[in-house]
Every structure is written in C-alpha cells, then in structure tokens.
Amino acid sequence: MFPVPVRIMAVALLSAGCALPCLAAESGARSVDLSWAKAMKANDLDAVLKTYANDAVAWLPQAAEARGATAIRAAYEGLLSANTVQDAVLSETHYKTTGKVSVGWGKFSLTLLPKSGGAPVVMSGRYTDVAERRGGRWVYVVDHASADPPAATAPKP
C-alpha cells in the first residue's frame, strides 16, 4: 500500500488532469472562436465549416445572408478562393455561457492577400456569435460580423 502523502498526490494529479480537458471542452463560444481563427489562419475551408452547425446562419461582412451549411460553405469558398488568409485575430473578446448556449462578441481583423496580386488587405470589424453545445461539441448557430464603419470626418466650417 502507498503511504498517505503519495495517495494524496496521485489523487491531486488525476483530478488536475481531468479538470483541464473538462474546462477546455466547456469553454463555449470562446472555444469555437479559437477554432475558427485557427482554421482561417490555415486557410482550411473544411475546418472553418466544422465550427458551424448545419442549420446555422451567418451574416458576414459585405456578403449576403448565408443560411445553412451549403450557403455558409459558398460564402467562405468565395473569400478563400480569392484570398489567402495571412492572419485572423479576435480582440476585445467577451463571453457569457449558460447551460448549452454561449454568446461571444468583440472585434476581428483578417489580413488577406489577394490571389490576383497586390498588397495585403486588412478587413476589420466587430462580431457577435451564438454557439450551442450539440453532440458533445460547441458550434456556431449564429455568426454576425460587420465591417468597421468608415471613420467619421469632421464637419466643414
């Protein structure tokens, strides 16, 4: 039989080992946002689509409403066929999770290199997303992103 301190240490290590994956799995919209950003940086269309539920709706900047997996795929195919994503950053993020529903919001920045040539383009804006835990994983059910509005100009005297 192991001495009491060794048993206590073993229980503590096993508990810590289980707690970390459990916390990561329960991180709601944050986990989906992190997966989306990673997939975008990898220019991996299929990985991007795995962040969405089949019945999700996406309102992406400068694009028509995309309702359902087929429409969301078409929206991202258009973006990724015309550009190589050099960077995808989410900032000023906030998250609220209750049960199987999680909401995230903040700002985004995508650095896109046009495949037709030219300098990289930075698309920035704000977003709100709603994620739901389905089949043991978190997925977007609503993704609403909008480009930053043009900078306000000072009125002429």
**pLDDT digits 0-9 by tens, 124-134:** 999 999 999 99
pLDDT band of residue 24 (cuts 50, 70, 90) is very low
Residue 157 has pLDDT above 90, yes or no: no
Token duo for residue 153: 């100009």
Q: How far apart are the first and last CA of the chain?
A: 87
Query: Average of pLDDT values for 1-21?
Result: 39
Q: Which of 38, 45, 72 is nearest to 141 (CA)?
A: 72
In the prediction, which pLDDT does 3 show?
A: 54
Q: What kind of fold does domain 26-143 have according to CATH?
A: Nuclear Transport Factor 2; Chain: A, (3.10.450)
Say if CB 155 and CB 144 are below 8 A apart. Answer: no
Task: Tokens 């835990």: give the residue.
Answer: 133
3-state SS, 86-116, equals: EEEEEEEEEEEEECCEEEEEEEEEEEEEECC
Instruction: Taking residues 127-143, report their average pLDDT.
Output: 97
Query: Is the pTM here over 0.75, yes or no?
Result: yes
Q: What is the mean pLDDT of the chain?
A: 86
Q: Where are the domains of the chain?
A: 26-143
